[in-house]
Structure 1
C-alpha cells in the first residue's frame, strides 16, 4: 500500500504569471506590507508581537537594496539540467538522479571557479533560504527554477514521495530539421509543507516558481532574521498529537 503511494505522481499545473519576476516580487512585498500595516498578519496564527514590525523591516530592507535582493534570489534559483547528462543508467532511481545532478553541478562550479558560480542551485543547501512570508500572511515554502525559453505548455511538474520533478521539453525546427531539447530537475520536498497545496507559476521572463504553505500544527516555532529568511523548528511526534493545530505555532523573531 505504501509502495503504491510512493509511486503515484501528482501533476501540478503550470500557470502563467502575467508579469516579470521583479514585478511579481515587488507586488508581493507591497501586499505583505499592506497586510502587516492592517494587522492581518497576526490573525493567521498566534504570532509574537514583534512579528509585524520584523516583517516591515524585511520589506523596507528588500526595497532599499533592490538590486542586491534580485541578485540573491536569482543566484538561488535551480537550473534545469540537460537530460542526456545524467539520465544514463539511472532512469528508475530518483535518489541516484538527485545525487548525479549535484555531482554535475559541482563539476560545473569547479570549472567556473567559486567566484563565478552561475545560478545552478544545489539540493544540499537550498532549504536555508526556502521559507518566506507569502502575501496571505502565512509562511510558505518557495523554490524557483530558471526556465527561460520555455512556455507553460513545455513544462511538466509532478510531485511524488516527497519529491518534485520539473521536466521541460521543447522542439524547434531549423532548416527543415526538427531538434528536441529536454531538461529536468528533481528536488526533495520537506515534510513541513502542505504537499497537496503545491502551486506552480511561470513569469514572463522565465522564472518558474513553486510554493506551498507550511503546516501550522507540526512546527514548534518559526524564526525570522532581518533578511527575511525563516527557519522552522519541528515538533516531536508526541507534541504534534498533544497540541491542537489552532494553538500549535508560535513565531520567534531573531536578529542576526
Structure 2
C-alpha cells in the first residue's frame, strides 16, 4: 500500500484534540507512517496488525475512531468478535473499492467513510476530521429536508419511499448540501469536503450530475446550480 504526501504536511492541516484513534494496518512501514503522522497531528494512537487484535483493542478501550486497511489479515475475526465490543466507533476504511457494501458493517455502527488506495496523508487527515466532527440530525439520528432523509447510522439516503443507491462520494456530497440547505457552496468547498482536496477538470460536475439524477428522479428538483458560484440544496420556491 503506497501513499502520497509526507509527515511534513501535518503542520498545515487540520489538527486533532487528543482523541484516541486505533490504526489497524498490516504493513509496518505504513503503520508507522500513519501512527507518527496522526500523533504529530494531536491524536493518541494505538495500533493493531490484524482483525483479532482490532477486536482485542476495542474490547479493552474506547476509541473515537478506527482507521483500518481493507486488506488487514484475519478480517473475519471482526464479525466473530462483535459481542465482545460494546462501543463501536466511526470507521475510516483504506480500500481499493468504491462501494458502501465494503465498508465493514461489523464495525460501522456509527459513521463510516473511506479513502481509496494509494491514499494521500492529507486526505486521510481531512476524512478523520470530518468523521470526528460529526453533526447531529433529528431525534432518530437522521438528517431531513422535505421528503429527503439521510441516515448516518446506516449511510443510506431516501427520497420519499425510494431508497437512493449512492456511492460514498455521492453520499458525502448530498450530506454536505443538506446540512447547508439554501446556502450556495462553491466547487472548492464541496470538493475539499468530499475528497479532502480540490479536484479540477470535470470531476465535480460529473459527481453533481450523477447525484442529481438519483435525487431528483421522482420528485421536485432539490439540487440546483448557481452558475458561476456553485451548488445549493432546497426547493426552488423557498430560495432566499
What is the TM-score of this pair, normalised by structure 1? 0.27
Higher strand share: 1
What is the TM-score of this pair, normalised by structure 2? 0.29
